[in-house]
Amino acid sequence: MKTLSNFINNEATLSQSSKKSPVYNPATGEQIAEVALSTAAETQAAIGVAEAAFAEWSKTPAVIRARVLFKFKALVEDNRDKLAELISIEHGKVFSDAQGEITRGLEVVEFACGIPHASKGEYSLNVGSGIDSNTLMQPLGVCAGISPFNFPVMVPMWMFPVAIACGNTFVMKPSEKDPSSTLYLAELLAEAGLPAGVFNVVNGDKESVDVLLTDPRVQAVSFVGSTPIAEYVYSTASANGKRAQALGGAKNHMVIMPDADPDQVVKSLMGAAYGSAGERCMAISVAVCVGDDVADNLITSLKDEIAQMKVGAGTGVTPEPHMGPVVTKAHQEKVLSYIDLGVKEGADLVVDGRNFTVDGYENGFFVGPTLFDKVTKNMRVYQEEIFGPVLCVVRAKDFDEALQLINDHEFGNGTSIFTRDGDTARQFEENVKAGMVGVNVPIPVPMAFHCFGGWKRSIFGPLHMHGPDGVRFFTRMKTITKRWPTGIRAGADFNMPTMK
Ligand code: NAD
């Protein structure tokens, strides 16, 4: 059985830990590797390596740091297929979807290549007589990233390209469920010429995470994962004096107004609900239909579309299926138990994804596309994140009721509205309580030069990922007020300094 290593100081480094975690191919259900879960001492050693690399990297000119990232981007593009295959085999998502994840991650690398511009600060001449003022955006030191299983390339790329471009060094703790693609990114960074120790990968579980949250040498922690862990990470890191951003779970609603283009709605909803087997933090898991006619027509169309869907292994199958399995057996069981629960709670199960098998892949962790109608807000299948291919249709009598549903929900990651009426869309944009909003766009994931993040319990901490917030998160601002020449003499002034 292959044991996956850490990557520290630009070298694959095998952990000596006796704790191991299995890595599966979810399409076949076979264990394909194991990953050693690093000890606290190994995690501390990785932080030490990153700390030692900081002195030189932080003083390296921003243009030189950016050039390493330009090279890294070219290497990822050259090796895109290998990377996509690593993602698909361990995560289960289909190959072309894995390629899409890489593209969205690379956009953050492109943004980070512009760091000389993005971090150049501000300058004001003559803020007082002969006095000028400017800001410096300086790196923090060692930063840590902790990522979820569902985007093993894109989510780490939300974090480390901006962090290292800003002059920080980094310790990345990927998900133990699918760490190979993140490890491969570390190899490509080394090949791109990133100095040893600037980017390190430590595999592990809570033991490693707790070191990253408490070790005084770590200055900032960037986390993406489920809400309970996000809350824990944010509160522990903050209590230990660190800067923290922690993105959590989601339950994204799509509002369908009676004037929306029905064909566009169905096509958009199919991809947004079932793409990547629903294991996306921006997946649409609730369709809010305004009016019974909208709901009845939508259910009929969705049933037809679902009947055409192909589900299968993410790689090695032609033509490529629309969606693959979910990530582990435990997760498959969790999703199936939510379907049981929905039935018990009285939702109308229109398409049942239980007892779903794929020929030749009988042991794979598959869940068929599932559709519930007449879901209500007091049901747990509505309130909780299922993170699988399960779409809940909720019926609302009007726009206000639909908006209220979203605003009352615990989560506020993404949302969208489908309508041809600009007035309704504008009201939605202004009043909906969610961080990322789509208008006739089902998955409104912001581009890298904007910021990614939700509201409410989908995020802990004020700053979102990448874009201007990313640069703010990974730099510390210093404001200089200076007088040149020093020839101007003034007497002692015991009052608050003001411009006279
Ligand atoms: P998870 O919370 O189980 O794990 C995330 C990371 O935390 C992993 O690296 C894991 O090893 C670590 N971890 C797990 N338990 C821990 C503990 N007790 N103490 C310390 N660390 C721990 O999440 P997951 O199942 O890997 O990913 C799916 C979740 O991530 C979903 O809730 C999804 O909505 C969320 N997600 C959110 C976003 C977003 O942008 N808001 C993006 C992607 C995924």
Q: Please give the Cα distance from 419 to 431 (Å, whole number).
A: 16
DSSP code for 312? -
Which residue among the candidates 143, 166, 281, 392 is catalytic per the annotation? 281
Looking at the structure, tell me whether residues 26 and 114 fall in a common domain. yes
- pLDDT of 66 strictly over 80: yes
Residue 218, SS3 per DSSP = strand
Going by C-alpha positions, the residue among 376, 373, 371 that lies closest to residue 408 is: 376
The rounded Å distance from CA 226 to ligand 1 centre is 4
Looking at the structure, tell me whether residues 140 and 188 fall in a common domain. yes
Q: What is the pLDDT of residue 495?
A: 85
Looking at the structure, tell me whether residues 68 and 207 fall in a common domain. yes
Looking at the structure, tell me whether residues 318 and 200 fall in a common domain. no
| Residue at 497 is within a domain | no
| Residue at 452 is within a domain | no
Q: How confident is the model at residue 295 (pLDDT cuts 50, 70, 90)?
A: very high
Q: What is the mean pLDDT of residues 120-126?
A: 95
Looking at the structure, tell me whether residues 191 and 327 fall in a common domain. no
Q: Is residue 384 in contact with ligand 1, taking CB distance under 6 Å?
A: no
| Residue at 93 is within a domain | yes
Cα-based angle 272, 273, 279 (whole degrees, multiple of 5): 95
Number of domains in the chain: 2
| Residue at 321 is within a domain | yes
Q: Is residue 182 in contact with ligand 1, taking CB distance under 6 Å?
A: no
Q: How confident is the model at residue 479 (pLDDT cuts 50, 70, 90)?
A: very high
113 part of the active site: no
Residue 134 belongs to domain with CATH number: 3.40.605.10
Looking at the structure, tell me whether residues 304 and 433 fall in a common domain. yes
Give the domain extent around 313.
252-439
| Residue at 353 is within a domain | yes
| Mean pLDDT for the chain overall | 97
| Residue at 448 is within a domain | no
Q: How confident is the model at residue 236 (pLDDT cuts 50, 70, 90)?
A: very high
- pLDDT of 486 strictly over 80: no
- pLDDT of 104 strictly over 80: yes
Q: Please give the Cα distance from 134 to 122 (Å, whole number).
A: 5
Q: What is the pLDDT of residue 487?
A: 64
Looking at the structure, tell me whether residues 135 and 230 fall in a common domain. yes
Q: Please give the Cα distance from 311 to 308 (Å, whole number).
A: 10
| Residue at 266 is within a domain | yes
- pLDDT of 194 strictly over 80: yes
Q: Please give the Cα distance from 176 to 183 (Å, whole number).
A: 11
Looking at the structure, tell me whether residues 160 and 299 fall in a common domain. no
Q: How confident is the model at residue 184 (pLDDT cuts 50, 70, 90)?
A: very high
Q: What is the pLDDT of residue 492?
A: 83
- pLDDT of 488 strictly over 70: no
Torsion-angle region of 466 (φ positive above 0: left; ψ -120 to 50: alpha; else: beta): left
Looking at the structure, tell me whether residues 8 and 144 fall in a common domain. yes
The rounded Å distance from CA 409 to ligand 1 centre is 20
Residue 24, SS3 per DSSP = strand
The rounded Å distance from CA 453 to ligand 1 centre is 15
pLDDT in tens, 265-291: 999 999 999 999 999 999 999 999 999
Instruction: Write the CB contacts of 391 (distance below 8 Å, at least 6 apart in sequence).
Output: 269, 273, 274, 278, 284, 285, 286, 287, 302, 369, 370, 371, 372
- pLDDT of 149 strictly over 90: yes
CB-based contact 200:185 (threshold 8 Å): no
Q: What is the pLDDT of residue 362?
A: 97
Q: What is the pLDDT of residue 332?
A: 98
Q: Is residue 150 in contact with ligand 1, taking CB distance under 6 Å?
A: yes
Q: What is the mean pLDDT of residues 296-324?
A: 97
Q: What is the pLDDT of residue 484?
A: 80
Q: Is residue 26 in contact with ligand 1, taking CB distance under 6 Å?
A: no
Q: What is the pLDDT of residue 493?
A: 82
| Residue at 490 is within a domain | no
Q: Which atom of ligand 1 is nearest to the CA of 205?
A: 11
Q: What is the mean pLDDT of residues 390-394?
A: 98
Q: Is residue 235 in contact with ligand 1, taking CB distance under 6 Å?
A: no
Looking at the structure, tell me whether residues 230 and 349 fall in a common domain. no
Looking at the structure, tell me whether residues 286 and 244 fall in a common domain. no
Q: How confident is the model at residue 500 (pLDDT cuts 50, 70, 90)?
A: low
Residue 414 belongs to domain with CATH number: 3.40.309.10
pLDDT in tens, 327-359: 999 999 999 999 999 999 999 999 999 999 999
Going by C-alpha positions, the residue among 159, 53, 34, 85 that lies closest to residue 448 is: 159
If one residue of 281, 282, 459 were mutated to test the ligand 1 pocket, choosing by the most ligand atoms within 8 A of its CB, it would be: 281
Q: Please give the Cα distance from 4 to 26 (Å, whole number).
A: 18
Angle, helices 95-113/62-78, rounded to nearest 10 degrees? 160
In the chain, the percentage of residues whose pLDDT exceeds 90 is: 96
**Where is pLDDT greater, at 484 or 436?**
436
Looking at the structure, tell me whether residues 319 and 358 fall in a common domain. yes
